[in-house]
With several copies, the nearest count.
Chain A
Amino acid sequence: MKKNRTLEDAIAAIPSGATVMVGGFGNPGTPFSLINELVRQGQTQLTLIKNDANEPHHGISRLIENGQVDRLVTTHIGLNKTVIELMNQGKIDVQFHPQGMLAEKIRTAGSGSYGFLTDIGLESEITQQKDVLEWQGQTYKVEMALTADYALIHAAQADWLGNLLYQGSAINFSPLMAMAADHVIVETIDLKQPGHFKPEHIHTPGAFVDSVVELKALTDDYGILDHHVRR
C-alpha cells in the first residue's frame, strides 16, 4: 500500500492538543520540513517529546516560540536560551528525563510494554517515592512507557512501503519514536521504489510507518551551523 502523502495533508491530520514525538538530536534527524509545516498550519496546545529544543528560531523552537506548545518532554535544552527563558517565565511546562531513560521509555512503548525497572537516578532527587518499587527483595525505580499520538521523523532514505534508513548521528530517537507513536509521519529527500534497499539495511520496517512525504529539497535548516564549527 502506497504511503505517500503531500506535506500539507500529512501534517493536517494532526489535531490541536496532540502529543507529538519529534526525532532528532540537535540538528541531525530533526524533521525541519514537517515542523515548519506544523508552524504554518498553526495547531496549538501541543505536547512535544524531543531530546532537545533545537536552537533558537530553529526546529521545534519555532513551534514553542510561536505559542503552539503547552508542554515539552525532553532531556537537555542547554543550547536554547530562548526556550530556557520561556520555561523560567512559566510560559511552557518542561519535563526532563535522563537521556537514556527518555529513549528507553519511548522504546518500551514502542515494544508494546508499559514500563520498566531501573536503578538510574534511584538515589537522586529525580526519583519520587511513588515511583519506587520493592520487588522480590530488590528496590527499583519504575519508568513508565511514553506513547504519543504522532511521530515526526526525518529519514535519509525511504520507500513508499515506509521502510526507512537513517544516516550519521541522525538515527538517535527516530527508530524508537517510529515504534512508539500511533501515527508515524516521515519526511525524506530520497524516496525509492520498494526493493531498492537491501532488507538487512532497513532501520525501521514499513509496518511502523503511516505516511511518507517526499521533500523536493533540503532547506538551509538542514545545513551546517557555523557556531558548531571548531575554529
Chain B
Amino acid sequence: MSVVERILTRAVLEITQGSIVNLGIGLPTQVLHYLPDDFDAQIHSENGILGAWKQSAPENMDPFLIDSAGAYVSLREGASLFDSAVSFAIIRRARLDLTMIGAFEVDAQGNLANWKIPGKFSPGIGGAMELAQKTKRLVVLTTHTDKQGRPKILEHCRLPLTAKACTDRIISDLAVIDVTPEGLMVREKLVDISNDELQDKTEAKLMFTAEE
C-alpha cells in the first residue's frame, strides 16, 4: 500500500453514518473514492454542493458540476445546489460534522498552516480558513514528514496560520494522533514502528496510551 493509500484507507473510517462532510483540496478529496457506494454521508463542496458523489463515467459527466478542486463529480439522491454565500453559511454556522483538510504544518496546540509559504507559494486562501475555524471536527490528513524527510507535526507552526487550535485529529501515513489539552496523543499506529522511531519523525512531543 502506498503512503497515500494508507492515509486514505484510514481516513475513510472517520466518516460516520449520516454525517455532513467537507473534503478539502488535495489528499482529502480522494477520500470520496474510498467510501462504499451505499454509504450514508453527504459530501459538502464549498462551491455549492451538498451531496456530491463519485465521478460518473465520461459519457455521463456533467461539465457544469465540479468539486472545489475542479474534478468532475456526480450527485447523490437528495443532493442540493446553492450559491457560494449559502455554502459558506453552512460552514460558518457549523452545520458540517467533519472537515478533512491537508497541511503544510500542524502543531501540538492544533494550530494549522496550509495556505501560504511566504515567498514560495501563495495561490490564495480559498475556503480553508473558514473550514478550519468553524467545522465541528477537523481532521488533518498529511504525510508524517515532507519530501526532504523533515517533520510536518511541529511543536509550534512556523508558517502563517490558517486557524488557531482548530485541529482535532491528525492522520498521517504512520499514525493517528489526537490533539488533546495535554498535547498530542498517539491513538493508533498505521505501520510497524516503535514509539521512539515515531517520536524521531515528529518535532512535537508525543504521548502514547498506557497499553502500548
Contact = CB atoms under 8 A, between A and B. Distances in A.
Q: Do chains A and B touch in the complex (CB under 8 A)?
A: yes
A80 to B, nearest CB: 8
A36 B48 CA distance: 26
B91 A222 contact: no
B130 A161 contact: no
A76 B129 contact: no
Nearest to A88: B122
B193 interface: no
Q: Which of B63, B122, B161 has the most CB of A within 10 A?
A: B63
A172 B64 contact: no
Contact of B42 (A77, A125, A161): A161
Interface stretch (A41-49, A62-70, A130-138, A198-206): A198-206
B89 interface: yes
Interface in B52-95: 55, 58, 61-68, 70-72, 75-95
A113 B92 CA distance: 8
B92 A120 contact: yes
Given A78-B123, A121-B129, A99 B71 contact: no
Nearest to B128: A98
B151 interface: no
A76 B125 contact: yes
A79 B123 CA distance: 8
Nearest to B55: A230
B127 A98 contact: yes
A222 B66 CA distance: 13
A208 interface: yes
Given A169-B47, A223-B63, A229-B58, A206 B78 contact: yes
A112 interface: yes
A1 B83 contact: no
Given A103-B84, A195-B77, A207 B90 contact: yes
A99 B77 contact: no
B5 interface: no
A96 B125 contact: yes
Nearest to A26: B70
A156 B4 CA distance: 38
B20 interface: yes
Given A100-B88, A168-B81, A112 B93 contact: yes
Interface string A163-180: 100011111111110010
A217 interface: no
B80 A27 contact: no
Nearest to B160: A125
B143 interface: no
Interface in B101-146: 122-130, 133-134
Interface string A205-231: 111100000000000001111001110
A75 B72 contact: no
Q: Which of A97, A120, A159 has the most CB of B within 10 A?
A: A120
B116 to A, nearest CB: 8
Nearest to A194: B78
A223 B82 CA distance: 22
A140 interface: no
Contact of B162 (A25, A101, A124): A124
Contact of A171 (B67, B82, B92, B124): B82
B17 interface: yes
A51 interface: yes
User: Which A-B residue pairs are the 3 nearest by beta carbons?
Assistant: A112-B92, A194-B78, A100-B88
Interface of A: 1, 25-29, 51, 74-79, 84, 94, 96-104, 106-107, 110-113, 119-121, 123-126, 156, 159, 161, 163, 167-176, 179, 193-195, 199-200, 202-203, 205-208, 222-225, 228-230
Interface of B: 17-20, 25, 33, 40, 42, 44-51, 55, 58, 61-68, 70-72, 75-96, 122-130, 133-134, 160-164
30 contacts: A25-B48, A26-B47, A75-B126, A76-B123, A84-B123, A96-B122, A98-B125, A98-B126, A100-B88, A100-B91, A110-B93, A111-B85, A124-B160, A161-B78, A168-B62, A169-B64, A171-B83, A172-B48, A175-B83, A179-B93, A195-B76, A199-B79, A202-B82, A203-B83, A205-B80, A205-B82, A205-B90, A206-B78, A207-B95, A208-B93
